[in-house]
Structure 1
């Protein structure tokens, strides 16, 4: 690699419920959830995320979700943009093609966690990755599972493989 440098890596965290999970979860689930999390990795001037159409990107904070509720600093990476895009294209053609999306087991947060580890060696916060098992551990979560399994989250953006 000729070009060397370090690039900041951020995790954008959005609450898809816009505060409703915090208010309604004790009644519905019998436990407190702080949010229904959608995450994206921000590196090399773009925000990258996994949705029902596959891996997408947009300018940071550029989805219809608006500005993230919080931003987690994941450190820096020495992976240049060109290598990172090759890695994403490989993921988009295999593990993270749109047909592999699953709200509970293989979602935007799984993607963010894997990409964070590729770039920085660090995982994203466990309160995000543990959320599906927390919901499914409740009777209401189990009852809703068939319905929720069919849900696909798509906040917009451009598919990195050019497919729509």
Structure 2
């Protein structure tokens, strides 16, 4: 039996509120939220994510630390450095197979017209890709966030406005469409 290659899979987690959710959520929602999460899966040297423009990718931010000093290089989203990185394990899925899978998703489940801030967003995409690559889910505090917000009277009142919001942090659409 030939040895198989395995590739690390990471989840990049960004707080779109830049700390404001933690400060304002108790007043506005009556419950503590630690952030408004945007996620991306990093594998094969690319950061993959779903936004209002479809499935995109870009080079991930790379970290090098020297005595707790963190310096990032590359990366293309205006979100900057992720607030945290979760190691999802390893995959044996080669980049070519992943790209075939992502193009299929971009033409069906995650096409441009399917984005919805609460029901079908970057986090549902990251969760599906993580399962495909590693068999693992992303953390539930991320996937449960929409239902937490919508379980409050303020969340329900804001839903029509929030449904119209589309997150587009830039990058390259995997199908070449915008």
Q: What is the TM-score normalised by the length of structure 2? A: 0.90
1:111 corresponds, among 125, 133, 138, to: 125
Q: Which residue of 2 aligns with 1:43?
A: 43
Find the aligned partners of 2:90 and 2:3 in 1 and give their Cα distance. 15
Q: Which residue of 1 aligns with 2:60?
A: 60
Please identify the structure whose Cα radius of gyration is greater.
2
Q: Is 2:159 aligned against 1:154?
A: no
Q: Is 2:81 aligned against 1:70?
A: no
Cα deviation digits, residues 94-144 of structure 1 (max 9, x gap): 000010000000000000000000000000000000000000000000000
Q: Which residue of 1 aligns with 2:65?
A: none
Deviates more, 1:28-37 or 1:59-68: 59-68
Q: Is 2:98 aligned against 1:84?
A: yes
| Aligned-pair CA distance for 1:4 | 3.1
Q: Is 2:150 aligned against 1:124?
A: no
Find the aligned partners of 2:42 and 2:12 in 1 and give their Cα distance. 7
Q: In 2, are the aligned partners of 1:38 and 1:109 still within 8 Å (CA)?
A: yes
Q: In 2, are the aligned partners of 1:4 and 1:80 still within 8 Å (CA)?
A: no
Cα deviation digits, residues 54-78 of structure 1 (max 9, x gap): 0000000321001100000000000
Cα RMSD after superposing both structures: 1.0
Give the 4+ runs in structure 1 shifted more than 3 A: none
SS of the residue corresponding to residue 138 of structure 2 reads coil
SS of the residue corresponding to residue 167 of structure 2 reads coil
Q: Give unmatched runs, 5+ long, in structure 1.
A: none
| Aligned-pair CA distance for 1:3 | 8.7
Find the aligned partners of 1:43 and 1:78 in 2 and give their Cα distance. 11
| Aligned-pair CA distance for 1:47 | 0.1
Q: Which residue of 1 aligns with 2:150?
A: 136
